Amino acid sequence: MTMTTDIKITKINQSKFEGINLDNITFGTVYSDHMFFCDFKDGKWQQPEITPYQPLQLDPSARVFHYGQAAFEGMKAYKDTNNDVWVFRPEENWKRICFSAKRLAMPEVPKEVFMNGLKTLLQMDSQWVVPGKGNSLYIRPFIFATQAGVSAAPATEYKFMIICTPVQAYYKGGDVKVKISDHYSRAANGGVGATKAAGNYAAQFYPTQKANEEGYQQIIWTNSTHEYLEEAGTMNVFFRIGDKLITAPTDERILNGVTRKSIIALAEKEGIQVEVRKVSVTEVIEAAKTSNLKEVFGTGTAAVIVPITGVGYKDDHYDLPKLENAYSTMLKEQLLAIQYNEAEDIFGWTQKI
């Protein structure tokens, strides 16, 4: 057992890496050798630790199980051709987990705990960042209430953790169709839609299962009156109508996606007209009917950029054309080139580990 800066480190005896087949892995099924954690109790954050990846022991009455006091983040690390490891805009994820924690009455994670934990864990598990375009290490920071006792009040004890899983494409096969929701809602004003509260995702599963039964992979969530388009499944969503790119503003209901804002910056740099404004269902369906809806794509850390091949609304379905010069292809290439350190990072987004 050794101490590095203020992190207590216990290393694995034998890495699992060699025994793992990393071809064609299903998203989130394999985890790297180590995990990072830091407990909050007695009103303060305790000494952070890195240990071999292992199950946790929690009291069955821990409040996370009963009241869902939990939030998470998604980030990725990439390896370049020199074997250097890079992370993309990590401060954005730190800020957002603090935003989510605050809204769910949990303590904010100190920046040095988040950043030192991330950096040390990635240095220790750097072989898990598999080289090659399309490979990355998905990083999952999360915080949850560990205090035992089922009284419905914010806990006094929490655990912040970081775990890592080597990944390839989130949606395999590339044919993603979405159904516009005309009944279920994901978020409401004054609620937690803009946070990465764990429960936001649980609430999506049932409506998504129903969409799956109709042949759609995801749902495009709409506002409470079902007039405006908001997010697509676990992603922010962009619509290309004519040559304009339109996306909904982030607000109390819509997640302030890191990929979303990076795509807006890249599109503007390319001279594409980007409108950040409410997008009505009527406008998009009209555009689909008149062949002006050129592209729809989702953006997110896990998914990167996913072109949508068809949109369903009520009983109708609209297939989208496969464009030669799709914005989604061009913007994805530019984003990945920055993330894999193949192109100049003029925005200062990446950090070397």
Closest distance between ligand COI and the C-beta of residue 236, in Å?
A: 10
Strands 176-185 vs 158-167: parallel, antiparallel or unpaired = unpaired
Measured from the CB atom, the residue of 15 and 256 that comes closer to ligand COI is 256
Query: Interacting stretch for ligand COI, rule CB under 6 A, among 102-110, 143-151, 267-275, 299-307?
Result: 299-307
Closest distance between ligand COI and the C-beta of residue 138, in Å?
A: 7
Torsion of CA 144, 3, 89, 95, to 10 degrees: 40
As to burial, measured by CB atoms within 10 angstroms (0-12 exposed, 13-18 middle, 19+ buried), residue 271 is: exposed
Q: Which residues contact 112 (CB under 8 A, 6 or more apart)?
A: none
Query: Interacting stretch for ligand COI, rule CB under 6 A, among 178-186, 205-213, 298-306, 327-335?
Result: 298-306
Query: Interacting stretch for ligand COI, rule CB under 6 A, among 118-126, 296-304, 323-331, 335-343?
Result: 296-304
Cα four-point dihedral sign 338, 342, 345, 346: negative
End-to-end CA distance of the chain: 23
Measured from the CB atom, the residue of 7 and 130 that comes closer to ligand COI is 130
Residues numbered 219 to 238 that lie near ligand COI (CB under 6 A) are 234
Query: Interacting stretch for ligand COI, rule CB under 6 A, among 79-87, 107-115, 244-252, 297-305?
Result: 297-305
Q: How many residues bind ligand COI (CB under 6 A)?
A: 7
Interface pattern 71-110 for ligand COI (x via CB under 6 A): ---x------------------------------------
Measured from the CB atom, the residue of 147 and 339 that comes closer to ligand COI is 339
**208 touches ligand COI by CB under 6 A:** no
Q: Rounded CA gap, 94 and 141, in Å?
A: 9
Interface pattern 301-330 for ligand COI (x via CB under 6 A): xxx---------------------------
As to burial, measured by CB atoms within 10 angstroms (0-12 exposed, 13-18 middle, 19+ buried), residue 92 is: middle
Question: SS3 for 85?
Answer: strand
CB contact at 8 A, 141 and 114: yes
**201 touches ligand COI by CB under 6 A:** yes
Measured from the CB atom, the residue of 45 and 142 that comes closer to ligand COI is 142
Closest distance between ligand COI and the C-beta of residue 178, in Å?
A: 15
* Candidate residues 107, 193, 300, 310; the one interacting with ligand COI per rule CB under 6 A: 300
Q: Report CA-CA distances (Å) from 271 to 127, 163, 310.
A: 39, 38, 27
Closest distance between ligand COI and the C-beta of residue 130, in Å?
A: 18
Query: Interacting stretch for ligand COI, rule CB under 6 A, among 32-40, 300-308, 310-318, 326-334?
Result: 300-308
Measured from the CB atom, the residue of 300 and 312 that comes closer to ligand COI is 300
Q: Which residue is nearest to ligand COI (CB)?
A: 74
Q: Kindly report the three-state secondary structure assignment for every residue of 238-292.
A: EEEECCEEEECCCCCCCCCCHHHHHHHHHHHHCCCCEEECCEEHHHHHHHHHCCC
Task: For residue 178, give both structure tokens.
Answer: 């979405």
Q: Report CA-CA distances (Å) from 242 to 105, 177, 239, 327.
A: 44, 20, 10, 12
**53 touches ligand COI by CB under 6 A:** no
Measured from the CB atom, the residue of 136 and 301 that comes closer to ligand COI is 301
Provide the 10 A C-beta neighbour count for residue 324.
Answer: 6
Separation of CA 125 from chain center: 21
Write out the residues near ligand COI by the rule CB under 6 A: 74, 201, 234, 300-303
